[in-house]
Amino acid sequence: MENFDDVYRWRVGKYRAFYRIANSRIILMAIEHRRDAYRHDTLPSDDELILIEPDDQFELPALDDSAPADGDVEPLPAVPMSPPGDPLPRPLAEPELARLGVPADQCGPLAACRTVDELLEVLERLPPAIADRVLALALGTTLEEVLDDPVLLLDELPPSFVDVLRGHVPLHYLLDPSQEDALQRIRNQDGPFLVTGPPGSGKTLLGLLAISPLLARARQRGNPQPRALFVTFTRTLARTLERLARVHLSAADRLAVAFKTLDSLVNDLAPDALLADGPAVVALVAQARQRAFTRPLSPDPARDRKLAGSLHRITNLYIQEEIEEVILGRGLRTLEEYRAADRTGRQLPLNANQREAIWCVYETLSDLLREQGLFLREERRQLAWETVRQDPAVTRYDVVVVDEVHDLSLTALRLLHELCRHPEALLLLGDTGQSIYTRTVRWDLLRAEFPGLVSIELSTGHRCPPEIAAAAEAYRAALPLDDSRGESSAVTHRKRPGRSRPLLVLLSRWDAWPDALARCLAERLRELRLTSGHAAVLVPTNQLADAASEALWARGFEVKHVRAGQDLSQGSGVKLLTWHNAKGLEFALVLLVLPDWEPPPAGWSDCEVDEVRESIALWRRTVYVAMTRASRALVVLRPQHGTSALLEGFPATVWESVTFASESTDAPSDGLPF
């Protein structure tokens, strides 16, 4: 077809089927009546409708069905998509809504809708998946949108196409060449494996699909009932994977897999080691720092004073992170090991005296924790690792898949390696560019830890349109604060370019952010023809999340505040998460709130600039990861003017920008809304 050299049309009676051919497969894109097919002969723009009408039973009698044969007339002009306030192109019938899985009590209200606004209002009562089906039926889908959608495969032809529409037929994603190659290598080679790739490249899905061939190999080794473990970072992700497993794994394989977080595993293996909470750790580190160098019977008080002085401009926060990430995270057991440790990723260099001083604080902190029967998170992981090593009765797994490996310590990975009965069936998934909790992870450390590690790279981004990916990359590259953290290659995008750029909303007064957020959310939902269940608002802190939730509820939006560890609702309502809690998820529309704020220790007095740089680098990666959660549209709300290093990196070449001026005449607030 003109302008789409990889799209073909097939005449079937009064209907036309649009399809593509790729990887020796026929990909069905749409089926429409021949009267509409004339409008797609040349497809001069992306504004045209592709309507799916499964049979003649519900065709509108008022429409003329006397379209001429192909070639008898010139192509009709394109029919533009209806703006939200316009009448629906066609009314909906209750029987066809029922076929799409719409609950019976909502079929009547939907059939009564006559405008797009009315339709979107009723669809707010339905889960996003069902709302999508109704919108496609009522408003059609542009060919560009169809080409952007993932391709789904049928294992076998269904008895009825209606079963496909209702979701009763198993469908599987068509893998891109790099994914197919990766799965083939996992199927035919021994691991352990390390699969890397950019955001949205399908690492998690690949890990899920790899379970079946890895379990099959375990059965070939003589184990008729092998077990698999899929470890992910949050309970939200674990629940999401359980839902995906019902679609992509056979019943036998699905029942062989346990989806767990690392923390839940540690709780099972070290139940008596109580975790010290955040405030307790902060207080104990401060106490340990004081006690370590003021020993009443010190054999060398002058030496103690010198060590204490070496930490003069290093904050307690940095010392705490050094203990947890470097000393405990690497499993270092002696001062000599710590002195020799490679700390790449920590930007504040430490000399020999400073390392010795931090080791003294660490030993004192350990004593204080034991006095209260408490343990740091990495200490509990080390205890769990030692338990597995010493107790053969602990459950082992034939297959272990570890997601988000870039945010796990070597101590954690040693534990998971020990749980894997066959190390060649260990599969690690990650991307150092998305590390938002750890600073020192590097692939060369993993290769040294796991000899023979087979590296596999995915090269196609499936989630973000190229415009959003380019804007996120521009943001990340604007302040090159990071040391090199790993290899990266050129990325191709499955979605085609040509969409509008992401939107940057500049607030002349920051106290207007609640009004700007609600207005942008409403306008983008209408423009994209989405219900609120497709949207997520991402904010930096829980305090700002509470404020955003209150603001949106007050302005008429249903809000689902997803806190750490909670399941991500598949129902209606705007999803509200912190940047960190959005890790591993995706949403059609993302609105990211970016205040003029810098994380600690920025702004603290008498603090080393390298410590500030390291913190800013970590948080900028977090903003980058939050941006790449968007699969269709991205909006960033930020102050028009500000001093935070998080506000850098919005070039006009990749962002559309508008200024939001508050109508309020009240004096601006003195502080941030959190």
Q: Residue by residue, what is the 3-state secondary structure of 190-247? A: CCCEEEECCCCCCHHHHHHHHHHHHHHHHHHCCCCCCCEEEEECCHHHHHHHHHHHHH
How far from 634 is each of 301, 594, 606, 631, 661, CA to CA, in Å?
A: 58, 13, 38, 8, 20
222 in a known ligand binding site: no
Burial state string for 205-220 with b = 16 or more CB within 10 A and e = fewer than 16: bbbbbbbbbbbebbee
Check residue 598 and give left, alpha or beta (phi > 0: left; psi -120 to 50: alpha): beta
203 in a known ligand binding site: yes
199 in a known ligand binding site: yes
Residue that has been written with the tokens 């949106």 in this structure: 552
Residue 668 class from Cβ within 10 Å (0-12 exposed, 13-18 middle, 19+ buried)?
Answer: exposed
d(CA 72, CA 2) in angstroms, rounded, equals: 18
- If you count them, how many residues does the chain have? 674
Give the phi and the psi of residue 443 in degrees, each rounded to 5: -65, -30
Nearest to 199 by CA among 651, 639, 579, 624: 624
Across 594-646, where does the E strand assignment appear?
Answer: 630-639
Distance of alpha carbon 378 from the chain centroid: 25
Nearest to 200 by CA among 665, 619, 624, 660: 624
Residue that has been written with the tokens 């891109």 in this structure: 176
β partners of residue 173: 152
309 in a known ligand binding site: no
Nearest to 89 by CA among 37, 48, 34: 48
DSSP 582: T
Burial state string for 125-137 with b = 16 or more CB within 10 A and e = fewer than 16: bbbbebbbbbbbb
In terms of DSSP bridges, do strands 492-493 and 460-461 run parallel, antiparallel, or are they unpaired? parallel
Helix H or strand E encompassing 402? strand 399-402
Q: Are 364 and 288 in contact (CB under 8 A)?
A: yes
260 in a known ligand binding site: no
β partners of residue 538: 577, 592
Helix ranges (DSSP H) in 351-465: 352-371, 377-390, 410-419, 443-449
Nearest to 284 by CA among 388, 379, 367, 173: 367
197 in a known ligand binding site: yes
Answer whether the bond into residue 192 is a cis peptide, omega within 30°: yes
Residues 6 or more apart whose CB falls under 8 angstroms from that of 422 comprise 218, 221, 398, 399
d(CA 637, CA 435) in angstroms, rounded, equals: 23
In terms of DSSP bridges, do strands 171-173 and 152-154 run parallel, antiparallel, or are they unpaired? antiparallel
Residue 674 class from Cβ within 10 Å (0-12 exposed, 13-18 middle, 19+ buried)?
Answer: middle
299 in a known ligand binding site: no
d(CA 403, CA 600) in angstroms, rounded, equals: 28
Q: Are 322 and 359 in contact (CB under 8 A)?
A: no
Residues 6 or more apart whose CB falls under 8 angstroms from that of 236 comprise 562, 565, 566, 567, 568, 581, 584, 585
Pick out the residues of the known binding site: 197-204
Pick out the residues of the known binding site for ATP: 197-204
